[in-house]
Amino acid sequence: MSPSSRGEPYQRVLAEVLSRVKPTPEERLKVGKVISRLFKAFKELKGLIPVNFKVEIEGSIAKDTWISGDKDIDVFILFPRSISVEELRAYGLRIAKACADRVGGEYRERYAEHPYLEVFIRGYHVDIVPAFMIRSPEEMISAVDRTPLHTKYVRSKLGAKMRDEVRLLKQFMKGIGVYGAERRVSGFSGYLAELLVIHYGSFIDVLKGVSSWRPHRTLIDIEGHYPPRLIEVVKEGFGKPPLVLIDPVDKRRNAAASVSLEKMATFIAASRFFLRKPSVRYFYPPKPSDINLREELKKRGTCLLAVKLPCPKLPPDVLWGEIYRSLEGFRNLFKAHSFEVLSCSAWSDEEERIVFLFELSSGRLPYLERHVGPPVGSPNEEDFVSKYLRGAYVLAGPFIEGNRWVVYKLRAFTRAKELLLKGAGKVRHGKHIAKLLDSMEVYEGEELDVLLNSFGEPFKEYFISWLTKRLYWLEG
């Protein structure tokens, strides 16, 4: 359905957004030239490699669901299943590097299930991925082998008008912050957005459908792989995630496995609010307003802390897995020492630095700490009493409160910043991040201005959004 046939109040908003998200003829010409150069290079390599292969464009470019301004191209080198995984990896990188050299692109190796090449050419980011040629999911050797099947399926289901509906949905998801299946986001993939339009029919109908979703109770089976009477059993089989959407080309896979509860809930809420009061803000939220950190701290009366670390050279999903593990480690450190964490998050440029952010109800605690021991008459009663009876750091007790032994003792750490500096290595971290703790820097309160003024706009915008927690689409 085209924007003009939707009627008010959506017509104006969606027409404006579509005019911005639809690639221009000039953009299509430029991306076409890059792809032609790549295919020419691959063709020249055909006779130089002792194995048969073919090359396909996958992803949103191949499905024509890409958004104006996108610079990502996915190229798959497809090998016969008769070669080994080791040969696929070796030949895949060899062909990819030779292609990159021929087109004059800078590149670097990346690693997922197989190593692949990330190439930068004429302002475009090109992933060259080796995979096996398969006709069905049952023939899969690695997860990436499924991707060409996704491309074929989507292209068979989406006409020109529906492709524009996908563009609207993708931009909506970007605007509300739920777009991206990568670990950093834990949201909706481009493929998932395409499947939702295929299932519901249009952007507006997707939002209407999403408005009635219920976390952990919603299952979508576009191709009817499972009979309705087995739906609950199917959900159990996938581990009861927030959302289940059966992959149309592989009934064993949940295409929504990456979606976190928070991202699903955000999508539901934004869909409902947009339908009540449409606005371009949902698609293009304004940048957060600047803040005066000193004034903000006075108003809040809390303690802000930032931990800065060098960034290990890891694939993004591996890196963010480690970042979130370390973030949880820091949370546990504060909890173990009675500091209340109101909010925490992490930011990284994925190249040079990581910043962990914390807001505590207080950065200082009294010297006295109340420590509750075992019940009277329990087997370890005497050990507790003996330990604290003559301790130089005991301020009061041992005494009995109710039926438990209690002491007041001196706290090991009274300042949160000191706890981070001296105790960071005592909790669980990502293994690569753990090796970098000696380079850790801790900033407290107004000291964070150093990071805000030196890290540039991406970090500053992230920090302000984290601190203010404003959902700008609510003001649409």
- pLDDT given at position 4: 38
What is the value of pTM for the model shown? 0.88
Distance of CA 102 to the CA centre of its chain: 34
Distance of CA 91 to the CA centre of its chain: 31
d(Cα 77, Cα 283) in Å, to the nearest integer?
A: 35
- pLDDT given at position 3: 41
Q: What is the mean pLDDT of residues 101-111?
A: 85
Does the 24-146 domain belong in CATH 3.30.460.10?
A: yes
d(Cα 469, Cα 458) in Å, to the nearest integer?
A: 16
**Contact between 415 and 444 (Cβ < 8 Å):** no
Residues 6+ apart with CB under 8 A from 197: 158, 162, 165, 166, 169, 203, 206
- pLDDT given at position 8: 62
Examine the pLDDT at 190 and tell me if it is beyond 90: yes
Q: Which two tokens stand for residue 172?
A: 């909506």
- pLDDT given at position 115: 84
As a CATH number, domain 158-285 is 1.10.1410.30
First to last CA, the chain: 24
Confidence at 1, pLDDT banded by 50, 70, 90: very low
Specify the long-range contacts of residues 206-214, CB closer than 8 Å, at least 24 apart.
206/165, 206/169, 206/271, 207/172, 207/271, 207/272, 207/274, 207/275, 208/271, 208/275, 210/267, 210/268, 210/271, 211/268, 211/271, 211/272, 211/275, 213/243, 213/264, 213/267, 213/268
In the chain, where the domains are located: 24-146, 158-285, 293-364+413-475, 368-410
Q: Which of 362, 372, 370, 371 is nearest to 414 (CA)?
A: 362
Q: What is the DSSP letter of 142?
A: S
Q: Which of 337, 341, 346, 357 is nearest to 443 (CA)?
A: 357
CATH class, 293-364+413-475 region:
alpha beta
User: In terms of DSSP bridges, do strands 72-79 and 124-132 run parallel, antiparallel, or are they unpaired?
Assistant: parallel
Q: What percent of the chain has pLDDT over 70?
A: 98
Residue 124: other Cβ atoms inside 10 A: 19
d(Cα 230, Cα 38) in Å, to the nearest integer?
A: 47
74-95, pLDDT tens digit by residue? 999 999 999 999 999 899 999 9
Q: Is 357 exposed, middle or buried (0-12, 13-18, 19+ CB in 10 A)?
A: buried
353-405, pLDDT tens digit by residue? 999 999 999 999 999 989 899 999 888 888 889 888 877 788 888 999 889 99
Q: What is the mean pLDDT of residues 56-84?
A: 93
Rg (CA), the chain: 27
Q: What is the mean pLDDT of residues 181-196?
A: 94
Element (H, E) at 355: strand 353-360
What does the mean pLDDT of the chain come to?
Answer: 90
Three-state DSSP state, 98: helix
